Homo-oligomer: A and B are copies of this chain.
Amino acid sequence: MGSTFGHLFRITTFGESHGGGVGVVIDGCPPQVEISAEEIQFELDRRRPGQSKISTPRKETDTCEILSGVLNGVTLGTPIAILVRNKDHRSQDYGDMQVKYRPSHADATYDAKYGIRAVAGGGRSSARETIGRVAAGAIAKKILKEIAGVEVLCYVKRIKDLEAEIDDTAVTLEQIESNIVRCPNSEMADRMIDRIEQARDEGDSLGGVVECVARSVPLGLGEPVFDKLEADLAKAVMSLPASKGFEIGSGFAGTLLTGSEHNDAFYMDGDRVRTVTNRSGGIQGGISNGENIVIRAAFKPTATIRKEQQTVSKDGEDTTLSAKGRHDPCVLPRAVPMVEAMVALVLCDHLLRQRAQCGETWKE
């Protein structure tokens, strides 16, 4: 019971990796927003497996169908249900994993919690579940752009120790999509790709850091004291598979500065209050301050690897496992649209919440 996210722009995902399909129901979407299956499919294609030589070779088209809530390309204000069918998979690849728990994967804990588990493809713990999130995120991004002019962009900042310098104020979607690792620094991107291929060839995997910037965010989003904007962003990101850490603005590195070094000085830019630096990451006191929102998420190296590992069987026997199947040697390129979707969902939800309580019409 935790498949719903958001308070006013609220999504509920469903689906296992195998079975009828995966999808999402979006409740609370404003009416009269233009949205097409193509716009959703664009994001799903960025997320799907088999998209490049450094992702899993599994081929899935992940074609979406809008079941409800949209008529003639326009939202009705009613729930939008989106379905992506699962393909008929042969399950033999999972034979070994049916009885042996993959280290650092969800196999053992799902068995412990529910006493039952859809083994094939990871069931509900499969990254396939994020299809619903990415589809909903496409709609959230459309609303953010149309209503408020907000732009949300994610990219790979670091693979293992290969870190790219990226100017979050200038980066574009075109730069991000210009290479298969989704790092908008092309020289570093090449090195990252090499490193991922090397890990794959060794039957191993890599992790890294995704960075996300949201630009032109309106002032005033965020609901202290628990639903502070960064708190909801943290939850959103940490609910993604393989995430191990979250930071905003200066993050962990900011703790190495003193207050006088760290504080973002205010200045007037015309009649707008702005900050000289942005160590706050665009949020102060849990509320957006109009500067760019900048967050980072740590993703661990993929748990499922070909290298032999020590583990136990479902029956409680010590054993070893060399994972078969086709797995991503590094989740980060495909995590980029996932983080983007989650950030967009949080911002869209808070845009509606801000309208409700503090909308302009309360006081003229």
Contacts and interface: CB of A to CB of B under 8 A. Distances in A.
Contacts of A356: 1, 8, 28, 352-353, 355-356
Contacts of A361: 147, 355, 359-360
A361 B24 CA distance: 27
Contact of A287 (B112, B116, B227, B309): B112
Interface stretch (A45-53, A62-70, A185-193): A62-70
A298 B149 CA distance: 31
A266 to B, nearest CB: 4
A88 interface: no
A249 B255 contact: no
A171 interface: no
Given A113-B219, A199-B258, A266-B108, A249 B239 contact: no
7 contacts: A2-B225, A16-B71, A28-B356, A101-B266, A113-B220, A147-B361, A267-B312
Interface string A50-82: 000000000000000111110100111111110
A267 B56 CA distance: 29
Contacts of A362: 30-33, 147
A80 B32 CA distance: 30
B109 A4 contact: no
Interface of A is mostly: mixed
Given A4-B226, A106-B284, A357-B8, A67 B19 contact: yes
A2 B226 contact: yes
A4 B20 contact: no
A173 to B, nearest CB: 24
Nearest to A235: B235
A152 interface: no
A239 to B, nearest CB: 4
A281 to B, nearest CB: 8
Interface in A193-223: 199, 203-209, 219-220, 222-223
A265 interface: yes
A358 B30 contact: yes
A36 interface: no
Listed from nearest, the 6 A-B pairs whose CB atoms lie closest are: A106-B285, A2-B223, A2-B227, A205-B259, A1-B28, A245-B247
Given A15-B79, A239-B286, 10 more contacts: A1-B27, A1-B227, A3-B27, A160-B255, A199-B258, A205-B258, A234-B237, A244-B252, A254-B300, A360-B361
A204 B262 CA distance: 10
Contacts of A104: 262-264, 279-280, 284
Given A104-B262, A309-B263, A317-B268, A79 B30 contact: no
Interface in A139-178: 147, 158, 160-161
